[in-house]
A and B are shown apart, each in its own frame.
Chain A
Amino acid sequence: MGQSPQRTIVHVDMDAFFASVEILRHPELVGRPVVVGGSGNRGVVAAASYEARFYGVHSAMPSVRARRLCPDAVFLSGDHAHYREVSERVMAIFLTRTPLVEPLSLDEAFLDVSGTRRTFGEPVALATQLREQVLDETGLYCSIGIAQNKFLAKLATSEAKPRASRSGPVRGSGVFHLTPDAQERFLASLPISRIWGVGPATLARLQPLGIDRAGDLLRASPKVLAGAIGEGAAVRLIQLAQGLDDRTVTPDADPKSISQEETFARDLTDRDELHGHLVRQADSVAARLRAHGLRARTVHLKVRYGNFQTLSRSWTSPRPFDGGHEILGAADGLFSRIPIDDGVRLIGLGVSSFDAGDREEQLTLDSMLDGDGVDRELRDRANSAVDEIRQRFGTSIIGPASAPGLHRTQGDQQWGPNAP
């Protein structure tokens, strides 16, 4: 698909992510300044709650300085494995809207939702629902910026962010849409320090020329700019100041595993119902696998019971796969040997052992073994068609007929418990 002139890019940034996750685990910390990061002499702040930010504490600041600014703050050393787990849940929610999700870090991602208007409605409605779903399912707030490209979407997010106060965050709009009409005015007054790539060195060269705002960049002589910061940088800055940025949203470079989990509002004991969830998970995991251009060889199944006891089973194929059909087949085999009488609270499906390319492929006798032949090529073509349709119309526009809740509409929750 070519570059559409009318792109809609969404930038999502979790609010004080690490600190908020800690407060969720430690409700006694609600309302207190919380700082996550290295607590030693050379430690650095990884995240600060809005209560702490009010005192001037921010991430990347030496912990020693943070302690001086806010002696009452609770300092936590951080639990990266847990943050990663929460992050995966959040990213999985994003993936219900579009396969084009590019995580920038654990708490930040770009989504290209250009094609999903028909399914999820206007971008602001999509973002508002996405934000509510993240809050419902994880208890975490996020801020969302919407614009025509990555650069502007990220700027828009800052407009949606909460402000720090002594008593915690003063919630902002949560969602900010920088429309093409408002773009010019917005950029004209934007401090150049907020343009990507403008660091202290560039700033020091531009300010003597009287360039403080993005609008000043457009009024300045390109030659003078090029003389100050080099031609390449000058061209790039002028483009950004015009709001031009054609970088695409590309899914994460090379993950080690891809998985999807679902927690149910009540414990499930019906195999068919659970199978239905596996169908959808297999389809979704396969779609992400293909979006990365990968093929996997191992399928993991995870089942958590009502009493939180958790079982994990896996199976490795001699032959790499990227289709929902193969993943589901393996998952069903694993699932059939897991007892579920005690009630299943969570079910998850994942794949790993990636084969990047077509370097080697164990061929099979299938096409010659009568009755068990699988028309692989036909299936591959169907998968590609599904991928293309989803890029244009959104993830939930098409799916396996055997998956429940295929035709979900806005506001439905695909990956978590509904409110009782």
Chain B
Amino acid sequence: MKLGFFLKEALRSMRRNPIPSFAAMASVLVTLLVLGVFIPVVQATTGAANEVRDKVALEVYLKPDVTDAQIQRVRDRLVNETEHVESVRFVSKEEAYKRESKRNPEAYELLGSNPLPDSFRITPDDPDNIQAIRNALAPMTPSGERTVVDPAIDEVKNRKEETDKILTATHVVKLAMGVLCGLLIVASALLVSNTIRLSLFSRRREVEVMKLVGATDSFIRWPFVLEGVILGCLGGVLAILLLAVGKIAFVDPLAEDFALISAPETMSLPLLALLLMLAAIVVSALGSGLSLRRFLKV
């Protein structure tokens, strides 16, 4: 009986105040649309940044005349005794020659023989740890030069400049996206709560009268909260429908043509929809409940 009554009250007030109700719903709708577009964009961007970071690797070049036993020893050392190593791949002289000659056939034709050494390509567990690995394999001497921990190793190299650039660039991208996302969420919460507050403000006299007739706070509050939830749901459903239409109509055909767009992992649409819906309901219910508190103090 009571829930039915509150629901009826909420529907009545929506029917009798169509414009504020529409404004509240529209602000939820717009906010969720922006968030719904922005969240996958952020994910795609950080995904792309991470992919670039994963290309960062460390090369361990071996001396030209190493034996198989020495190669095995270095591999064991890399795999078992060095921290932060994600994976190790052996690149033999022949393999390196094949790859490089493909890239620059004329120069290698001129050379005739294979000048390239055997090497290991190490992928770190986190690109930020690449210097740690390098220091472990080739510690600095007090004089500022590098030695190697195994006589079979000739040199440990990463493309320093490139690595640094990639690392700072991806850091900046990730940070910027995070800040933008945070700002957007704050702005959304403010927008929705302001709209709700405005529509409640126009009805504070109504609340006052209800209190004078002897209505308890919760008796007044529940219809308002329910109204907020209903409007939030409506806005959420509309936003999700629009997002789905947008995805099917624009993003999916594009993704088929350009690998770029589909490449990074993004949240699936149902999960995104669920999250947005939840946010809409929580924000509008909390918004109306909290905003009402001020007017209840009669």
Bound together: no
Interface residues of A (CB under 8 A from B): none
